[in-house]
Amino acid sequence: MPEFRRLVDSRCELGEGPLWDDRTGLFRWLDIEGRALHEAAPDGSRYRARPMPDRPCSMGLCESGRLVIALPKRVVLFDLETGTIEPLADLEPDLPTTRLNDGKVGPDGAFWVGSMDERPERAPIGSLYRIGADGRVDRMIAGLRVSNGLAWSADGRTLYLADSRGPWIDRIAFDPATGSLGERVRMATLDDATGRPDGGATDLDGNYWSAGVTAGRLNRFDRDGRLAESFDLPVAAPTMPCFGGPERDLILVTSLSASVAPDRLAGKPWTGSPILFSPGARGVPVGRFADRN
């Protein structure tokens, strides 16, 4: 069993969107409901929490050094030095019950972000979007309940997509030059006991790592969808893993603490805090948004 440690002594209401910034040597993550952007070095030093003007749902790194951030109904560019926010795209103004959710920068240099229905029934009205540096928005996939789990293979030719209320994980052929999608294959269908799929990440060996939010576990699937390994985490509701560290051989996992039933907290002392461990694998580097500054 790996040795887990809490990166910082800070709890998120809804921790999400972790990423590794190789230029600054920092992990960054979000607290959606706490409206904050957090960052820290792998040893827990250089910790900082910044307030955000709205709920930050997901984010990606930019070539300019800024962050591209999905707020509930819009995508913006955020300057880490000045705090300046530049609007990029508005999404789903005609759907009052949805918000943006999981998002990442793809190998094509675009920001990919999905949406979800915030009502308890989670109607299948969410979509997956591709947003270019010029602000162009293309709807790529429709009919999602809770779009989640975005990650790409090391060669950039496979996109992984999950629906937390499907609950399933799909593997989709991807063109890294154009961002176009091809054949879509159902890779895994899950349940609450295994862990409904939340955020995801990929390693250099072709595995897909999925936060099993309902089971307090981090699940590793091979390319064919076989559950190869499952880690029992010291948090009740993990939301997303990301690889980081100078060698990308660490995994940071965010989690949520709000609305977790008391009976799920037994043996899960760090619920809501970011946890770190060495998984015995190296992660695929994340892309950077091809913005203009």
Average pLDDT over residues 185-200: 97
Pairwise CA distance, residues 217 & 197, whole Å: 10
Q: What percent of the chain has pLDDT over 90?
A: 94
Res 78 pLDDT > 80: yes
**Catalytic residue (choose from 102, 108, 170, 198):** 198
Q: Alpha-carbon torsion 288, 199, 171, 226, what sign?
A: positive
Q: What pLDDT is stored for residue 293 in this prediction?
A: 62
102 annotated to bind ligand: no
Q: What pLDDT is stored for residue 260 in this prediction?
A: 82
Res 175 pLDDT > 70: yes
207 annotated to bind ligand: no
Pairwise CA distance, residues 133 & 13, whole Å: 31
> What global pTM score does this model have?
0.97
108 is catalytic: no
Q: What pLDDT is stored for residue 37 in this prediction?
A: 98
Least confident of 68-77, 128-137, 162-171, 263-272: 263-272
Pairwise CA distance, residues 137 & 231, whole Å: 37
Cβ neighbours, 10 Å, residue 183: 7
Q: Say which residue the tokens 């996939």 belong to.
A: 141
* Contact yes or no for 87/54 (Cβ under 8 A): no
Strands 74-78 and 85-90: antiparallel
50 annotated to bind ligand: no
Domains and CATH numbers, the chain: 5-289 (2.120.10.30)
Q: Could you report the per-residue pLDDT of 222-231, keeping only the tens digit for each?
A: 999 999 999 9
